[in-house]
Structures are given as structure tokens and as C-alpha cells.
């Protein structure tokens, strides 16, 4: 087997991964609560793969109610080394039409009330989010998306809103003035938590609509999103197949693998044993 264990977090429209060999659904307990669903674990060729439907099978969990800490902890707990997140998004840019894919490289977090860190009182840590995605994995995802026939933009800023309602026109236009390219409801705090768990993370945004900033068009609704989902999902499955079959035989190390080395600040004698116990999978490498 290779050194890769790729975690695939599937968003709206991507509820399974085709071609997984020796696959099985595995229930994973997390001290952070229940993940969105069981994990589907198997392999494609020599690459181990673990799939998690972000909203649960049947799309039963709202963006605001996702337990992102449990999701990331569960992936780390089963040995995932890198995370590819795939999400349906709205476009805030004319040149990123429905059906196109963007390999996101920046985020603006406008969510509220979602637990956004594994750390806290009794074990404080500050990871860098200046460059929030893994350029190595993002580049591989871009190549795989093109091989799957998608129109691909490399780089783009994702505005993470709380939801579950769609934007007002004023908000949509404000985010465009901020220079945002995409809008979605699920990438935060997911990307922050992946960094705290030392998991290199890449996000593919699959555009379903133009949000509501185009005044000569009807505002986005669920029917419009669903109509675009099936076409996007077919390309997303192709992307995953091409990515997993095209990975380098040996997984190169990433600086993200050891980012907690320079993030912990609480003195050892002041650390809370109960919180340390919950961090066994996420940060066990540096806390043992």
C-alpha cells in the first residue's frame, strides 16, 4: 500500500465514491460527539480512501448543525493523512459559471456559533491559517478535475456564510466588493479544524448557481441547485477517480503534517487532563 490515506468529504451532490474496493461502512466514536455518518473505508488500487458524506446519507443535516469537530476527529482517528473536501457553492464572479469547478485557496469566515477549534481553556493553541489549503493536494485536485472534463479555476476566495438561508442581494453584492469568488455554508470551520488536526486540506467548489447578485435573473433556489447537482456530481466522481489513481507512489511530507510543533502555548503543568484526553487523535503526536 502507498503512504496515502485520502479522506473525501462529500458535500451536496456527492454522496458516494465509485470504484472503492474492499469497502465497508465503519462507525467511529469521537469524544467531540457524533460525526455526520459512518465512514466508508476501502481502497482504490494502492491508495486507502475514507469517504464521509458531510450532510449524512439522505442529506439530513443542516450546514449550521454539522459537527465539524467530530467529522475531522473521526477522519484523523482512522488514519487519514490528507483531506479533499468537495462542496457545492454559489458563484460571485461572472467568469465562474454553474458547472465550473474552483480549487479554493482562501476563505473569509462569516459563520457564527459553530465551534471552530479543538483547543481552548486548559490547552491553548494557535495554528497559522495564512495559507489555509495544501498547495500540493490542491494542484493534484486541479489536474484531476481537468482530466474529468471540468472547467477549472485554480485559486479563489470562498465566503463561508452561516445559512441555512441563502444570501440577501445586499450581502451578495457586499461579498463581491470584498473580492470573493464563491459562497457556501460548510467550509468553515472545517478547514480550520483540519489544520489543527495536521491534515493537509484542499477544497473543490462545484458551482451550482450565481447566488442572487445578478439583478436580471431570479434569485437562487433549491430547485435550481438540484438541477445542476447531478452534472456536477458526475464530474466530481471522475475527479476523485483520477486523483486517487494519479497520486505519486510515495506520499511526500507536508509542513502541515507537523504544524502543531509551533502552535501549542499552554505550559505542560497548566494543561487540562480532560481536554488532553479528547485531543488524543487530533494532537496526540505532540501531547504524548
Please report which confidence band the pLDDT of residue 127 belongs to, taking 50, 70 and 90 as the band edges.
very high
More reliable by pLDDT, 260 or 288: 260
> Is position 10 within any domain?
no
What does the pLDDT look like over 211-236, one tens digit per residue? 999 987 776 677 777 777 878 888 99
**Which entry of 37, 105, 181, 209 is annotated as an active-site residue?**
209
What does the pLDDT look like over 84-117, one tens digit per residue? 999 999 999 999 999 999 999 999 999 999 999 9
> Is position 258 within any domain?
yes
Domain at 137, CATH number: 3.40.50.1580
188 grid coordinates: 468553515
> Is position 73 within any domain?
no
What does the pLDDT look like over 21-78, one tens digit per residue? 888 999 999 999 999 999 999 998 889 999 999 999 989 999 999 999 999 999 999 9
pTM metric for this prediction: 0.95
> Is position 51 within any domain?
no
Instruction: Domain of residue 181: give its range.
Output: 84-287
> Is position 68 within any domain?
no
**Which entry of 37, 211, 272, 280 is annotated as an active-site residue?**
211
> Is position 28 within any domain?
no
Please report which confidence band the pLDDT of residue 273 belongs to, taking 50, 70 and 90 as the band edges.
very high
Whether 209 is a known active-site residue: answer yes
State the pLDDT at residue 12.
Answer: 63
State the pLDDT at residue 18.
Answer: 73
> Is position 145 within any domain?
yes
Q: Could you give the number of structural domains in the chain?
A: 1
State the pLDDT at residue 229.
Answer: 80
State the pLDDT at residue 13.
Answer: 59
Asked if pLDDT for residue 1 goes beyond 60, the answer is no
* Chain-centroid distance, C-alpha 34: 17
> Is position 250 within any domain?
yes
What does the pLDDT look like over 187-207, one tens digit per residue? 999 999 999 999 999 999 999
Question: In angstroms, rounded to a whole number, what is the distance separating the alpha carbons of residues 237 and 19?
Answer: 10
Whether 272 is a known active-site residue: answer no
Amino acid at each position: 500500500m502507498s503512504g496515502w490515506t485520502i479522506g473525501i468529504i462529500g458535500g451536496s451532490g456527492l454522496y458516494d465514491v465509485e470504484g472503492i474496493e474492499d469497502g465497508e461502512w465503519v462507525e467511529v466514536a469521537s469524544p467531540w460527539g457524533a460525526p455526520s455518518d459512518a465512514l466508508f473505508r476501502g481502497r482504490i488500487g494502492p491508495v486507502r480512501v475514507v469517504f464521509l458524506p458531510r450532510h449524512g446519507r439522505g442529506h439530513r443535516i443542516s450546514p449550521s448543525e454539522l459537527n465539524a469537530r467530530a467529522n475531522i476527529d473521526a477522519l484523523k482517528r482512522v488514519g487519514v493523512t490528507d483531506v479533499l473536501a468537495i462542496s457545492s457553492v454559489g458563484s460571485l464572479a461572472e467568469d465562474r459559471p454553474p458547472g465550473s469547478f474552483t480549487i479554493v485557496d482562501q476563505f473569509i469566515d462569516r459563520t457564527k456559533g459553530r465551534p471552530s477549534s479543538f483547543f481552548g481553556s486548559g490547552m491553548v493553541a494557535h495554528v497559522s491559517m495564512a495559507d489555509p489549503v495544501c498547495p500540493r493536494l490542491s494542484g493534484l485536485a486541479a489536474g484531476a478535475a481537468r482530466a474529468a472534463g471540468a472547467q477549472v479555476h485554480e485559486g479563489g476566495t470562498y465566503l463561508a456564510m452561516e445559512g441555512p438561508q441563502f444570501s440577501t442581494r445586499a450581502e451578495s453584492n457586499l461579498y463581491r466588493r470584498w473580492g470573493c469568488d464563491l459562497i457556501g455554508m460548510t467550509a468553515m470551520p472545517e478547514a480550520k479544524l483540519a489544520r489543527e488536526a495536521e491534515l493537509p486540506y484542499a477544497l473543490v467548489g462545484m458551482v451550482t448557481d450565481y447566488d442572487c447578485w445578478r439583478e436580471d435573473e431570479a434569485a437562487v433556489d433549491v430547485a435550481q441547485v438540484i438541477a445542476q447537482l447531478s452534472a456536477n456530481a458526475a464530474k466530481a466522481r471522475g475527479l476523485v477517480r483520477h486523483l486517487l489513481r494519479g497520486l505519486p507512489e510515495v506520499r511526500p511530507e507536508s509542513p502541515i503534517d507537523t504544524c502543531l510543533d509551533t502552535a501549542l502555548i499552554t505550559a505542560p503543568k497548566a494543561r487540562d487532563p480532560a481536554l488532553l484526553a479528547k485531543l488524543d487523535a487530533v494532537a496526540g503526536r505532540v501531547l504524548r
